[in-house]
A and B are shown apart, each in its own frame.
Chain A
């Protein structure tokens, strides 16, 4: 995953710094706002932990071991911005103390492993763990997916960065100057290793740590999960409080989905289904005459608000579209309101439970097994 010096052109390395520096500056500002004077010791310890996590050998099911980056884990525990800084410092140690990863390519390495990995992983975690209690099994699954997806997205980016080199930078004979593999080779090479081994290791580590913290150190988990109910009962209460079907929201979501899907209609070949005039249909199907029923009922559709979209002016076309959207929204809203009236039972919402005492104390010693 670390790109050493020599694989990337100096131009690509410069681009890496151009992206990395503002992101890190933003991260520093955000973290400072949140933890104030505590930021220096907190970030220093986190960076040290992040460096040490890369040292852990994760036993993976095939009997071998693999290293994990831990970026997704720190993002889950303290937010992606703190993770960006911690992993950056850890990468700096690796580059300067151990020659692992380059100095010129440091910016690109930071973008891949300290920015893209934690943010992608954290996004997946939030998506999957949404609405789950703090001690729910679903959060463990979400953590696994966060690690797995995060490192694979980062690997994809590495594949792209390496793969664009031969096309952009080659000499007069066509011999590549830097990394010699094209996108078609670099992306599968990176993803094969990460989809099978490294991603699994990262996922296992992230999930195992989250599972341990659920059992042994809830206060640490709570730092980045404010307001998340602790167990299933509390989560249910929270859900019933929140999950009242709101017709307005349903209508807005349906209309938004239709708007988002509209370009599909532009891409699809052919005309609109069932909108042919009887004459066109007769020609298309080679009929001798228009069927009587069709001829009778097609006349009904002449008495409409915008016949032929008032053919011609684009403005009337737009007005008719807006009217159509409003009508669809109103119909969905009406259906949702009806559904709430008919099926919506009034569940008495229990008052939010007082902050529950944790029976498990913070465990700071090594795991006793």
Chain B
């Protein structure tokens, strides 16, 4: 019997003039974790979305255990033995946990048209306990659970029926370390049962540690499949980008003095249920990092500074005495903010790139008659889109068509266009490939050198260590420690203050 589980043969997909996947062919074996990597826009998600019925197959074939599969939706894919855990939230509000787990498969509990809710809840409870998530109640509304718990529920939903292939699409970035460990445990279980995991991630150390083999895509084209044990991180970077990625990934300096000039001071900021008595100062030309577990409150700090928190107490004040209590004041005072939730809180998905870039700068784009002209807006957005090297057809292209990394570039282009002096960047490299990450790090470094101040909130400890002058660690909504930039700093020194 063949060890090949899935054959991907000459698969292609186009969106308008964009060739998202071009004639891709490779095999995935039984009982392996097969990583799929590539820059943003390389076609990874498009390929797996075709396999799992989210997109129709443009061309070519998927052959699972010798039989061609061509699912029209996720349920058909499930019936073929294929499932997916998507990057963003994949559960539906307004339904219970059990209804979400069995959505599309209710027929198991329907007799003569009547749904046996009790039986469905019992089965879901049994599964949740089996997965070690017994505290999640099957009959409770899914809305009662936080993002991470809902991801755990998705793991149950995608794997309870013992599928032959499980696609995990960039899920780990949404999880805390504890959540990741749970996911890894189930990946190992699936592999040990002889089934296959297709694992998409931008975190190369994670890819090397957790996968058996790795397929690299670039610009929708298959590049290579390698054994994880036989390659290094640098080898993967080279395959992904198509050239050597220079060593200057993070900042190289360690001895530069940060200015004494305070540009922003935060005193006793409390957001009920989120953060408590947070105080710190941000200096001119400084990159100040905020680290911690996902629910530590660090993400709320960014919102609080930008005036986007509700019921905030305490004081956020600029050097000139301006108090920041709301978003319009923050923007007028040259503060920029990029949210962790890029798709829902940062970009306007069904608007053009140009409109997105111009959005906070419309006042400065008005002509003498206080009217906006297409020409001026186009010139403005073109300039900053090009400065950020956004991969696009033109600025009229909808943001929804862009990859995650390019969306982030649009968000940054927006604030560069506004020439913000203080940037609050929450998870700026979340779900972004190595090349765009490097671009963003270099941009941050240039901004720092030109006197801009940056607050970088991140769950990626290495990028905090690599980029920040100071790192504040949050735990249970409070500051639990602070570390200054040094060559000796490592992940363990941060983790010690996080947990």
Do A and B pair up? The answer is no
Residues of A bordering B, CB below 8 Å: none
Residues of B within 8 A of A (CB): none
